[in-house]
């Protein structure tokens, strides 16, 4: 279903196929890195080697990669609790992310934030967020600053299908639209908010449809298809820049439980298997092979290298010191 109120900015569509081969492979590598990272963290939790909790985006890699590869210098993003993929696709350093998860002083937040709060504000990554919908206002604020300062940057705002049912969804989409703020809202509809199926929670059925009612271009796309996400995001982003908001709804799926532990009582094995059969990484690998950009050996080497990079990041982070206790009282001003 595609709901579009405005015509796209450029006549010719951006496609991955038009990119240099190396760039095409780099997108695959990013998805593999995200997967390797989350699979590693999942294992660490299973071993009891990690404090707190984390949420994994295994299966959803194409959403972050297909949108954030269009990011230009100066653009900012806001992430979610399921945020490792956003951070990696944004370009954050695996080692400093690992250090944060391990609660090390060298982590992005000095060990004070953990998985749900990874941020690199200076670089434009305005933070994962532990509150569902919590970053939607922040993204609008960043976009507001761009507009006031006549900068042609965009704020890219990730959120889940669950966040769509929060009041702030209405308030921020409305604000962004009446004030024409350059925000690209990216809804990762992974079919569930924890255990609640999105179809049971979403009156009217379509999130893109809801966004269209705020008078912004909005499109639903197959989030397991990197090519489709890439092309749609490129079009919507081009429309956002120096202009008003847009929304992309990506239909995707999380393979693992909601957080570190989850009995999966709300869905069937068959359903998970069905989505896995449509795996974004395998699918894109096949496409690249068909395009003669990739062969089996190269594909295996990339996957291996991703695992290796993640292993190295964690091994290095593990050797780092924990924060000084005094840091608990730093950045407290009231």
Interaction site with another protein (CB under 8 A): 51-53, 100, 103, 109, 111-114, 116-117, 129-134, 162-163, 165-167, 193-196, 200-202, 265-266, 322-323, 325, 327-329, 332
Q: Which residues contact 285 (CB under 8 A, 6 or more apart)?
A: 28, 294, 299
The span of 73-81, 189-197, 225-233, 294-302 binding Mg ion (CB under 5 A) equals 189-197
- DSSP 3-state of 189: strand
As measured in angstroms, the least distance from the Cβ of 283 to another protein is 30
Q: Which residues contact 107 (CB under 8 A, 6 or more apart)?
A: 96, 97, 98, 99, 100, 101, 113, 317
For ligand TPP, the closer CB: 16 or 186 = 186
For ligand TPP, the closer CB: 160 or 245 = 160
Query: Which of ligand TPP, another protein, Mg ion, none does 322 bind, CB closer than 5 to 8 A by kind?
Result: another protein
Of the candidate residues 65, 132, 228, 294, the single one contacting ligand TPP (CB under 6 A): 132
Residue recorded with tokens 């960043």: 142
Closest by alpha carbon to 32, among 268, 302, 276, 277?
302
Residue 257: phi and psi, rounded to 5, are -65, 175
For another protein, the closer CB: 20 or 167 = 167
Closest by alpha carbon to 92, among 68, 63, 112?
68
Rounded Cα distance between 23 and 52, Å, is: 36
> Using the rule CB under 6 A, is 137 a contact of ligand TPP?
no
Query: Which residues 156-175 are close enough to bind ligand TPP by CB under 6 A?
Result: 160-163
Contact between residue 231 and residue 15 where contact means Cβ atoms under 8 Å apart: yes
- Report the sign of the C-alpha dihedral through residues 98, 100, 103, 107, in that order: positive
Query: Which residues 193-232 are close enough to bind Mg ion by CB under 5 A?
Result: 193
Query: Which of ligand TPP, Mg ion, another protein, none does 325 bind, CB closer than 5 to 8 A by kind?
Result: another protein
Of the candidate residues 161, 219, 279, 320, the single one contacting Mg ion (CB under 5 A): 161
Please report, as ranges, the residues that interact with ligand TPP according to CB under 6 A.
55, 81-82, 130-132, 160-163, 190, 192-194, 258
């Amino acid at each position: 279903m595609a709901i579009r109120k405005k015509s796209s900015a450029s006549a010719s569509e951006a496609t991955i196929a038009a990119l240099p081969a190396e760039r095409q492979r780099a997108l695959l590598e990013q998805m593999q890195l995200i997967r390797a990272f989350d699979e590693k963290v999942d294992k660490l939790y299973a071993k009891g080697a990690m404090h707190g909790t984390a949420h994994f985006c295994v299966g959803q890699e194409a959403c972050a990669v297909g949108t954030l590869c269009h990011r230009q210098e100066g653009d900012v993003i806001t992430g979610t609790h399921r945020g490792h993929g956003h951070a990696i696709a944004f370009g954050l350093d695996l080692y400093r992310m690992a250090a944060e998860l391990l609660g090390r002083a060298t982590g992005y937040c000095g060990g004070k934030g953990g998985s749900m709060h990874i941020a690199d504000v200076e670089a434009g990554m305005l933070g994962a967020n532990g509150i569902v919908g919590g970053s939607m206002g922040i993204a609008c604020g960043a976009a507001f600053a761009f507009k006031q300062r006549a900068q042609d940057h965009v704020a890219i705002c990730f959120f889940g299908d669950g966040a769509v049912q929060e009041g702030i969804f209405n308030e921020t989409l409305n604000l962004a639209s009446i004030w024409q703020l350059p925000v690209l809202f990216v809804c990762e509809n992974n079919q569930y908010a924890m255990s609640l199926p999105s179809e049971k929670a979403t009156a009217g059925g379509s999130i893109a449809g809801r966004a269209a009612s705020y008078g912004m271009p909005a499109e639903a796309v197959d989030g397991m298809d990197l090519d489709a996400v890439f092309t749609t995001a490129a079009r919507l982003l081009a429309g956002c820049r120096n202009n008003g908001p847009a929304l992309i709804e990506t239909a995707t799926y999380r393979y693992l439980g909601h957080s570190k532990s989850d009995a999966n009582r709300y869905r069937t094995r068959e359903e998970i298997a069905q989505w896995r059969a449509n795996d974004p990484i395998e699918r894109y690998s096949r496409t690249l092979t068909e395009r003669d950009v990739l062969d089996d050996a190269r594909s295996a080497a990339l996957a291996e290298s991703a695992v290796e990079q993640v292993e190295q990041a964690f091994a290095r982070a593990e050797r780092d010191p924990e924060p000084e206790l005094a840091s608990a009282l730093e950045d407290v001003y009231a």
